[in-house]
């Protein structure tokens, strides 16, 4: 098997890349994917999101090492092992990231990745539907393959949350993916006609109708090099080992966990670490696997005094009814991820743009769906966006079939603890506003007796969960930056014919969920790989609070 371009991974960036590289029919593209089909209601029904990310059939099943600052807990690190990658198992929340996130990338050496450069690619990939909630049409795209919609927000609690935020003195935003991210407002989702709109549905399935795009099933074991140039990918399938050859380039889009693992197995990474595992060093790149970042969050849960929450459907009959309505009509509760209101806030005066994110949910339940609270309730997922903590992905062994070691090193600085305490107290302030008066019962979690810094720290240590946004492990930077892994063209520094195109190249984690920026990276890299000029810069000026130096609201 051989193709002009060989892409490892059919996830958010990989699928967008495959679709764009094969678009004009003149180049052959092969996509290597280890996972199976994304067909079936558990993936396609938005409300069933807690199932696929906890099923070994669809998930790589990675877990962190015992986290030293979280009481030695091992945290789940789900990554999609299925067509569409993590976009087929994620929460379907659509957040571009703040304009300043990308300006910071550029300052860190990722030339050409400032907000003015990436905004045109967001517009190219989107098909935005405002759902009558207002928004910023000039900042959005309306003809791309990725449908972006808003939930119906029928539950009054969604509105109570947004009203409470304004009562607490914070901004309102009609479109956090437009000019103004800061504030409370409606949340956006990658759902279309009641179905999960993954990159498999948006990009890959239509593109696979082309003769010049093929899907190769198998486990990528390593990149094959000849004279310092990537010439193919060794895969394991059917009990044997084969090589899928690349006439032009190999592109890793295998996730922030698997891309650095593949680089290291191929001899690109920290030399001493590779030697330790008996791997011949092709390029000593100390940054491979380092700079691991993620978003951590806690759930603040409040009992609800009115029986209006999703808890009334949290039984066999309710779930069956919602499932049947979705199966036959693609409508009803099953047709939304239930994240329909959101907020992006600044934690303190002097913080220029939001560094706290909220997801609001009209039920008190764990993300994995395992534990519903004792009755009617609602919750806010909250966490800081720009933690200074950094972790690493390293090899456990030279066996491609073995999962790597993942240490996030969460909460390793005093800043983390200070920021998280603030998030907990801020959420209590918002839930105490008069908009929640008709609904507010007792606090379920952390509980009214958890008040002091030490008590809140104990709650965080025990209950903080990953938002599943790992990134940064193949950091993009200047070619002469010893810690960078890829240059601003996504080319792996120190070898030829190899690129990394996924969330692992982010210099720093963006605000919010990472599916949208990962797809954008695939879109933008496609033009680079094809040697096309980038889309013309879009110099829209993002909204920054005029009070940012003196107030957090």
| Annotated binding-site residue numbers for FAD | 4-33, 82, 90-93
CA gap 9, 182 in Å, rounded:
34
Please provide the DSSP assignment of 315-379 as one string: SHHHHHHHHHHHHHHS-SGGGS-S--EEEEE-SSTT--S--EEEEEESS-B-TTS--B-SSSEEE
CB environment 88-107: b (16+ within 10 A), e (fewer): bbbbbbbbbbbbbbbbbbbe
Identify which of 46, 97, 22, 44 has the alpha carbon closest to the alpha carbon of residue 515: 97
Which pair of structure tokens corresponds to residue 251?
Answer: 């592109």
- Segments of 144-271 assigned E as strands: 146-150, 183-186, 188-189, 191-192, 195-196, 213-217, 219-226, 229-237, 240-252, 268-269
Neighbours of 281 (CB within 10 A): 15
Beta carbons of 528 and 110 less than 8 angstroms apart: no
CB environment 41-62: b (16+ within 10 A), e (fewer): ebbbbbbbbbbbbbeeebbbeb
Which pair of structure tokens corresponds to residue 368?
Answer: 């994995």
β partners of residue 216: 32
R_g over Cα of the chain: 23
Q: Write out the binding residues.
A: 4-33, 82, 90-93
Which pair of structure tokens corresponds to residue 127?
Answer: 């098909």
Tell the residue number behind the tokens 């240590």, with chain if given. 461
CA atoms within 13 A on the CB side of 385: 25
CA gap 224, 265 in Å, rounded:
10
CA gap 336, 153 in Å, rounded:
10
Q: Is the peptide bond before 341 cis (omega within 30 degrees of 0)?
A: no
Angstrom distances, CA of residue 204 to CA of 7, 59, 166, 200, 503: 13, 19, 41, 5, 19
Q: Is 23 exposed, middle or buried (0-12, 13-18, 19+ CB in 10 A)?
A: middle
CA gap 520, 516 in Å, rounded:
6
CA gap 249, 496 in Å, rounded:
9
Identify which of 348, 323, 383, 300 has the alpha carbon closest to the alpha carbon of residue 551: 348
β partners of residue 189: 93, 149
Which pair of structure tokens corresponds to residue 47?
Answer: 């409300």
Helices (H), 387-514: 414-431, 453-463
418 annotated active-site? no
Q: Which residues are catalytic?
A: 469
């Amino acid at each position: 098997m051989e193709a002009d371009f060989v892409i490892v991974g059919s996830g958010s960036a990989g699928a967008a890349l495959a679709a764009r590289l094969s678009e004009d029919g003149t180049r052959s593209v092969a996509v290597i994917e280890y996972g199976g089909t994304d067909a079936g209601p558990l993936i396609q029904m938005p409300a069933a999101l807690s199932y696929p990310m906890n099923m070994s059939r669809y998930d790589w099943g990675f877990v962190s090492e015992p986290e030293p600052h979280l009481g030695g807990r091992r945290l789940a690190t789900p990554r999609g092992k299925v067509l569409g990658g993590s976009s087929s198992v994620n929460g379907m929340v659509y957040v571009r990231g703040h304009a300043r996130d990308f300006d910071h990338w550029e300052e860190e050496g990722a030339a050409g990745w400032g907000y003015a450069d990436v905004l045109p690619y967001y517009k190219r990939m989107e098909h935005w539907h405002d759902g009558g909630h207002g928004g910023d049409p000039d900042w959005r795209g309306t003809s791309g393959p990725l449908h972006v919609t808003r939930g119906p927000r029928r539950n009054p609690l969604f509105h109570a949350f947004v009203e409470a935020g304004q009562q607490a003195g914070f901004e309102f935003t009609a479109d956090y993916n437009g000019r103004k991210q800061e504030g409370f407002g409606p949340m956006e989702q990658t759902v279309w006609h009641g179905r999960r709109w993954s990159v498999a549905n948006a990009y890959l399935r239509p593109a696979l109708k082309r003769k010049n795009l093929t899907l190769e099933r198998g486990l990528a074991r390593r990149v094959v090099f000849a004279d310092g140039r990537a010439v193919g990918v060794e895969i394991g399938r059917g009990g044997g080992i084969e090589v899928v050859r690349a006439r032009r380039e190999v592109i890793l889009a295998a996730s922030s966990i698997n891309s650095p693992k593949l680089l290291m197995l191929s001899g690109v990474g920290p030399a001493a670490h590779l030697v330790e595992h008996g791997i011949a060093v092709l390029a000593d790149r100390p940054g491979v696997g380092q700079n691991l970042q993620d978003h951590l969050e806690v759930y603040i849960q409040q009992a609800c005094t009115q029986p209006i929450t999703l808890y009334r459907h949290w039984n066999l009959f309710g779930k069956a009814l919602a499932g049947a309505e979705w199966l036959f009509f693609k409508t009803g509760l099953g047709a939304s991820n239930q994240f329909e209101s959101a907020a992006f806030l600044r934690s303190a005066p002097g913080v220029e743009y939001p560094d706290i994110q909220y997801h609001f949910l009209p039920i008190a339940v764990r993300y994995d769906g395992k534990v519903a609270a004792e009755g009617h309730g609602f919750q806010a997922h909250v966490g800081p966006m720009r933690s200074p903590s950094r972790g690493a992905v390293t090899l456990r062994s030279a066996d491609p079939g073995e999962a790597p070691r993942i240490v996030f090193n969460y909460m390793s600085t005093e800043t983390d603890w200070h920021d998280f305490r603030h998030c907990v107290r801020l959420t209590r302030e918002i839930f105490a506003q008069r908009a929640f008066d008709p609904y507010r019962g007792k606090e379920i979690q952390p509980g009214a007796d958890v008040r002091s810094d030490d008590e809140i720290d104990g709650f965080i240590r025990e209950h903080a969960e990953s938002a599943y946004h790992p990134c940064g492990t193949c950091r993009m930077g200047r070619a002469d930056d010893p810690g960078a892994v890829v240059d601003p063209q996504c080319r792996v520094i120190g070898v030829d014919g190899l690129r990394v195109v996924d969330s692992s190249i982010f210099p720093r984690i963006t605000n919010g969920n990472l599916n949208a920026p990962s797809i954008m990276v695939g879109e933008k890299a496609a033009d680079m790989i094809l040697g096309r000029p980038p889309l013309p810069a879009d110099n829209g000026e993002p909204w920054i609070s005029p009070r940012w130096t003196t107030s957090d609201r």
